[in-house]
Amino acid sequence: MTEITPTDTSCGFIALVGAPNAGKSTLLNSLVGTKVSIVTHKAQTTRSQVRGVVTTDKSQLVFIDTPGIFAPKRRLDRAMVDSAWGGAGDADIVALIVDVDRGLTPELEKLLEGLDNINHPRILILNKIDTIKNEELLKLSEAINANLRFEATFMISALKGYGVSDFMDWCIKHIPPGPWHFPEDHLTDLTMAITAAEITREKLFLRVHDEIPYNSTVETESFKIQKDGSYKIDQVIYLSRESHKKIVLGAGGQTIKSIGAESRKELMAMYEVPIHLFLFVKVREKWGDDPERYREMGLEYPHGKD
């Protein structure tokens, strides 16, 4: 094996920013080659920054999946949007992900204005190209580039993997020289406890509807590696309304049982060990105003009135 000295290596942070549901987490997973960030069809799934690491011969790319940027209403929204802009501000390269099916919306125009103040190289990623015709795609690319200057534009489908490696190659060429931030076998900075909570949150989001996902959070209270190699995981689902509890539990506890079963199945496949997962449901009307819940999510608590 050849030794790599720090002067040979390059390392860069690339923030993936965009409106909710643009496909940032799907892109992160496609870049890393495994699931590190949860994905649902619902907007505002990602709540804090999730880093995914790709290490090639001499380069380390740290992609930062950020919460979607939208007009915040609640305290949690503000924390999520602040976290997304924080991710953009700290990165070496900022990649704006656009859902081409939605096009140049007023929400996207606002985002372009915000990105104008960011002093790092910006690139445009037109995602979901599997959903529209080529002529429309070219028109959209021109319209967005006329609004704001980008160093490069990529047309991709994160879901199908089209164009993802071109984007990665561009990043490898444009990151600064420097030592790696993570060991070369690291894929993410999330702990197993947080990953496990995120997987359960994804199953909850997919299973229950309406306003419940936005008013719930999942925390791992204890994560123990047992003598036999299995993992014992206790998690709490926090809800903000008593009326939601009945829905999350379901008749005879069926709903929570199936959320637990889905989560356990995925965690077993991920860690390749037996998993004992115990889910508890707690109603905390004001969890959205509790700084401890934000810390658990990896978010700064935004002070001031909600």
Ligand X SMILES: Nc1nc2c(ncn2[C@@H]2O[C@H](COP(=O)(O)OP(=O)(O)OP(=O)(O)O)[C@@H](O)[C@H]2O)c(=O)[nH]1
Count Cβ atoms below 10 Å from residue 7 Cβ, excluding itself: 8
Asked if 11 and 179 count as a contact pair (C-beta separation under 8 A), the reply is yes
CA distance 147 to 75: 30
- Compute CA distances 298 → 98, 112, 142, 293, whole Å: 25, 26, 37, 9
Query: Is 255 a binder of ligand X (CB under 6 A)?
Result: no
Q: Segment 62-121, which members bind ligand X (CB under 6 A)?
A: 67-68
Asked if 118 and 148 count as a contact pair (C-beta separation under 8 A), the reply is no
Of 183, 209, 202, the closest CA to residue 270 belongs to: 202
With CB under 6 A as the contact rule, the residue among 9, 10, 45, 83 that binds ligand X is 45
CA distance 81 to 259: 28
Is 66 annotated as belonging to a binding site?
A: yes
Query: Is 281 a binder of ligand X (CB under 6 A)?
Result: no
Q: How far is the CB of 42 from ligand X (least distance, A)?
A: 7
Query: Is 203 a binder of ligand X (CB under 6 A)?
Result: no
Is 67 annotated as belonging to a binding site?
A: yes
248, exposed or middle or buried, with CB in 10 Å at 0-12, 13-18, 19+? Answer: buried
Query: Is 20 a binder of ligand X (CB under 6 A)?
Result: yes
Q: How far is the CB of 194 from ligand X (least distance, A)?
A: 16
C-alpha torsion 186→191→193→199, nearest 10: -60
Complex with ligand X: residue 122 or 128, whichever CB lies closer: 128
Per the structure block, which two tokens stand in for 247?
A: 């829905």
Tell me how many residues contact ligand X (CB under 6 A): 24
Query: Is 24 a binder of ligand X (CB under 6 A)?
Result: yes
Query: Is 128 a binder of ligand X (CB under 6 A)?
Result: yes
Which residue(s) pair with 155 in the sheet?
126
Query: Is 21 a binder of ligand X (CB under 6 A)?
Result: yes
Is 147 annotated as belonging to a binding site?
A: no
Segment contacting ligand X by CB under 6 A, of 44-52, 147-155, 234-242, 267-275: 44-52
With CB under 6 A as the contact rule, the residue among 118, 132, 159, 283 that binds ligand X is 159
Is 91 annotated as belonging to a binding site?
A: no
Per the structure block, which two tokens stand in for 189?
A: 């900075």
CA distance 68 to 215: 17
With CB under 6 A as the contact rule, the residue among 11, 14, 36, 39 that binds ligand X is 39
Q: How far is the CB of 86 from ligand X (least distance, A)?
A: 15
With CB under 6 A as the contact rule, the residue among 48, 127, 235, 263 that binds ligand X is 127
Applying CB under 6 A, the residues found at the interface with ligand X are 18, 20-26, 39-41, 43-46, 67-68, 127-128, 130-131, 157-159
Binding-site residues for GTP? 18-25, 65-69, 127-130
